[in-house]
């Protein structure tokens, strides 16, 4: 009998691959953990800490996992007054076993991550708890610090404003919290240091990914790109003013997914006339053509309060997957200056790409990876494909009683908005708190204005005021509260019924009215994002409800499935009841999910070679940074000049001078290599039209060029060294051309140059022409 049960269990795992981790071996440990509780409660704080330290010496003991969870439960109860439920301990065990655990919103993932991180630290590992933004990194590190302190584990965090010394101190802790972008850019910056020991990020050991699907799937489509200033920016205000007068469909056209824009013959003629009769397509007009195309992209494809904000006299980009301002990010290739000209702002410095990486490559550096999220099952296959991670579904502590209503679908956006306002008025009249999830900043503010006109005041949470997030969310569950928010995914903050206390008469009042009511103003491009918004209601067994509104004019439908079923009719309010329409909206969403998956897959397919090349070059660079390879090179290739400089320099700095020259040339050659590969990638579709395999052609171009880097860097370094002169006992490296960027920043890049379809091939041809005409 037992054998048949075992076979059945294995069959279930084979057929249900989306959640293949069996929790049985963890649930069997729960009674033993419970039995230890009474004894641990008797210990003083010092004795509890000593018991935790004893775990450092007993990592291989059979009962280690039981002891760790028992100590973590007691430490959490004492330190922050939160005793982990059994399901939270199951989550911690899943993370400690290297899985991605799926836990519903409000089930306490932050505490699960802290217990698991402390466990890994007590095993002797440095742990990075990777989040989607700075706010969560700081909040969670400070919130969980008392737990870590009781267990004798050091904790720190990095954020955008952290100084070099603060970053180093944070990474020296056993557990470091940080946004994926911050940790990634620290890795990139470390690859540019020229003084031994200046690196801040240690060799990676364990990564625990909070909101794992957001970080590993959504963020993975956006490469991490570090740039450095090279020249003052140039404002093309005249061209921006000309482009502003052009009209879509008449002077320029856009492809259906709004990723590319190009001038029509009439538009070309209009621009050439406005510029004084130039020919954009001969040698005299090529520079103007590049500027026109950038201005056209800024005007037609980038929208204020959707893609960026203008705040404090500067353009600030909005990270679409987070709904937050990306303060130190810019667009590349002159696009930043084009947007600044569009908004009549002074241009920022132009830059060149110094290095880049991907989230997938960053995570691959860690020998051990685990994570937590509320929506992992939907991307279980993707997590397995790209990260070799399995999903463990953790049951809720209390049954979910939230009521999810069917989508309400309308013919037009205008009809949909009117219905949303009417629904908010209806629910608000009952005193029930409402959370409305919108697509972007512009929509959130427009809806808040519509509500104000209807006599309803709403709190607005978006990229313009995300610093007030904690305060707004704290009261979003209060009686009669109306909260309008952009992207809720990754906000990591529970909405407590009744307000910030989550208890008392206000809690009882909201419960009696049905709990939090969530309204989505449109379906997102991923069902996971829909579920994350819905999950803000019905936490920990609370009542709640949700409904999504949609229209046949929504961007999701227009991009994913614009061919609406024929014969669809609506009532007088514009609402559609045709049974064919909801599946059509679902289909549109699946199409865009597929597109985004292919973007991720293609990004990794083409960057995998670049990552291998970088690793090879880093071996050479690290040897030059931490050894005397540079000085040996100069002694061998420029012996006389080396001896001369050694006599003239009295401070013994010659070895470091050699090191900086060689590293500068290596880094410059790598930056040039990345620029070359970018040009190859932009024209890769031309190879596809020639019946060649793009990835093979990419490799054929990339590999020989890479093998030239070290030899050319050495040759250039020797030449630069041979021309050095000593003045007043010092060498001026900047005068010798060894220039460091005066500042660095990160680029906001959406990487999808490899779609093999004919439509995207033609778009790639246009892109290639723009790049060719625009090169300096």
Distances (CA, A) of 645 to 43, 216, 404, 719: 67, 51, 77, 15
Q: Find the angle CA(334)-CA(337)-CA(343) to the nearest 5 degrees.
A: 145
Is 108 flagged in the annotation as binding?
yes
Cα–Cα distance between 133 and 450 in angstroms, integer? 30
What element of type H or E holds 611?
Answer: helix 581-626
The H or E element that residue 227 is part of is: strand 224-231
Q: Distance between alpha carbon 462 and the CA centroid of its chain, in Å?
A: 17
Q: Residue 294 and residue 308: Cα distance in Å, rounded?
A: 16
* Orientation angle between helical segments 237-244 and 335-342, nearest 10 degrees: 70
Any binding-site annotation on 412? no
Strand intervals (E) in 669-742 = 726-727, 730-731
User: How do beta strands 730-731 and 744-747 pair?
Assistant: unpaired
Residue 88 marked in a binding site: yes
Tokens, residue 687? 């190879």
107 known ligand binder: yes
**Cα-flanking dihedrals φ and ψ of residue 460, to 5°?**
-115, 130
Is 163 annotated to bind a ligand? Reply is no
Looking at the DSSP assignment, which residues form a beta bridge with residue 355?
Answer: 226
- Mapping DSSP onto H, E and C, the string for 4-48 reads HHHHHHHHHHHHCHHHCCCCHHHHCCHHHHHHHHHHHHCCCHHHH
What is the Cα–Cα distance from 29 to 69, expressed in whole angstroms? Answer: 10
Q: 106: annotated binding-site residue? A: yes
In what order do the strands lie in the sheet containing 155-157?
155-157, 175-179, 127-131, 206-210, 368-373, 100-102, 391-393
Number of neighbouring beta carbons within 10 Å of residue 647: 10
Of 144, 39, 28, nearest to 89 by C-alpha is 28
Residues 6 or more apart whose Cβ sits within 8 Å of residue 78 = 45, 48, 150
**Annotated binding-site residue? 652:** no
In sequence order, what are the beta bridge partners of 179? 131
Distance of alpha carbon 714 from alpha carbon 624, whole angstroms: 11
Bridge partners for 326 per DSSP: 317
CA dist., res. 132 & res. 143, Å (int): 17
In this structure, the number of other CB atoms found within 10 A of the CB of residue 338 comes to 27
Tokens of 619: 């071996």
Which positions make up the binding site? Answer: 88, 106-110, 494
Binding residue positions for ATP? 88, 106-110, 494
């Amino acid at each position: 009998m037992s054998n048949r049960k075992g076979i059945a269990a294995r069959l279930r795992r084979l057929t249900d691959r989306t959640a293949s981790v069996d929790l049985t071996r963890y649930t069997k440990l729960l009674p033993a953990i419970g039995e230890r509780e009474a004894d641990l409660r008797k210990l003083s704080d010092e004795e509890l800490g000593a018991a935790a330290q004893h775990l450092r010496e007993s990592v291989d003991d059979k009962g280690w996992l039981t002891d760790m969870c028992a100590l973590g439960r007691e430490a959490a109860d004492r330190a922050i007054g939160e005793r982990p439920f059994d399901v939270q301990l199951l989550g911690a065990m899943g993370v400690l076993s290297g899985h991605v655990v799926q836990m519903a919103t409000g089930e306490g993932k932050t505490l699960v991550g802290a217990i698991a991180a402390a466990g890994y630290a007590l095993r002797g590992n440095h742990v990075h708890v990777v989040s989607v933004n700075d706010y969560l990194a700081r909040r969670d590190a400070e919130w969980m610090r008392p737990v870590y302190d009781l267990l004798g584990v050091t904790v720190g965090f990095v954020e955008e404003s952290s100084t070099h010394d603060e970053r180093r101190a944070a990474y020296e802790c056993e557990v470091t919290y940080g946004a994926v972008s911050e940790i990634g850019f620290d890795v990139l910056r470390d690859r540019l240091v020229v003084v031994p020991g200046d690196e801040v990020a240690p060799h990676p050991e364990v990564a625990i990914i909070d909101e794992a699907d957001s970080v590993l799937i959504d963020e993975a489509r956006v490469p991490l790109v570090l740039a450095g200033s090279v020249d003052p920016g140039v404002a093309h205000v005249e061209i921006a003013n000309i482009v502003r007068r052009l009209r879509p469909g008449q002077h320029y056209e856009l492809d259906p997914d709004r990723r590319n824009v190009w001038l029509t013959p009439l538009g070309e003629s209009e621009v050439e006339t406005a510029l004084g009769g130039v020919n954009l397509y001969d040698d005299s007009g090529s520079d103007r053509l590049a500027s026109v195309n950038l201005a056209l992209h800024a005007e037609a494809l980038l929208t204020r309060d959707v893609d960026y904000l203008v705040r404090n006299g500067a353009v600030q980009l909005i990270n679409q997957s987070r709904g937050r301002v990306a303060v130190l990010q810019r667009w590349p290739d002159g696009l930043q200056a084009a947007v600044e000209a569009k908004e009549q702002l002074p241009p920022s410095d132009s830059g060149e790409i110094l290095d880049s990486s991907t989230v997938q490559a960053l995570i691959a550096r860690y020998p051990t990876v685990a994570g937590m999220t509320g929506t992992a099952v939907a991307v279980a296959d993707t997590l397995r494909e790209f990260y070799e991670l399995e999903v463990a579904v953790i049951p809720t502590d209390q049954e979910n009683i939230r009521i999810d209503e069917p989508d309400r679908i309308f013919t037009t956006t205008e009809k949909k908005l009117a219905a949303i306002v009417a629904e908010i008025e209806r629910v608000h009249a009952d005193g029930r708190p409402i959370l409305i999830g919108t697509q972007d900043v512009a929509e959130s503010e427009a809806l808040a204005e519509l509500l104000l006109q209807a006599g309803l005041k709403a709190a607005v949470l978006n990229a313009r005021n995300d610093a007030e997030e904690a305060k707004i969310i704290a009261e979003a569950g209060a009686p009669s509260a109306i909260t309008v928010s952009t992207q809720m995914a990754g906000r990591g903050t529970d909405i407590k019924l009744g307000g910030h206390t989550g208890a008392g008469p206000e809690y009882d009042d909201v419960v009696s009215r049905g709990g939090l009511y969530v309204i989505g103003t449109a379906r997102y491009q991923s069902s996971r994002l829909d579920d994350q918004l819905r999950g803000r209601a019905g936490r920990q067994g609370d009542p709640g409800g949700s409904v999504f509104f949609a229209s046949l004019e929504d961007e999701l439908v227009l991009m994913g499935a614009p061919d609406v079923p024929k014969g669809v009719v609506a009532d007088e309010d514009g609402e559609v009841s045709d049974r064919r329409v909801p599946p059509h909206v679902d289909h549109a969403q699946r199409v865009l999910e597929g597109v985004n998956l292919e973007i991720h897959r293609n990004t990794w397919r083409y960057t995998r070679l670049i990552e291998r090349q970088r690793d090879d070059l880093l071996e050479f660079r690290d040897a030059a940074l931490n050894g005397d390879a540079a000085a040996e090179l100069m002694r061998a290739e420029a012996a006389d000049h080396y001896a001369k400089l050694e006599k003239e320099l009295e401070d013994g700095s010659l070895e470091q001078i050699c090191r900086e020259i060689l590293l500068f040339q290596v880094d410059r050659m790598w930056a040039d290599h990345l620029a070359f590969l970018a040009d190859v990638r932009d024209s890769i579709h031309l190879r596809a039209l020639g019946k060649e395999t793009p990835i093979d052609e990419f490799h054929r171009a990339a590999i020989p060029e890479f093998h030239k880097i070290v030899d050319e860097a050495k040759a250039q370094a020797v030449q630069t060294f041979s021309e050095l002169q000593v003045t007043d006992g010092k060498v001026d490296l900047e005068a010798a051309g060894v220039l460091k960027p005066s500042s660095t920043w990160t680029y906001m890049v959406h990487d999808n140059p490899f779609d093999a379809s004919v439509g995207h091939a033609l778009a790639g041809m246009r892109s290639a022409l723009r790049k060719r005409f625009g090169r300096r």
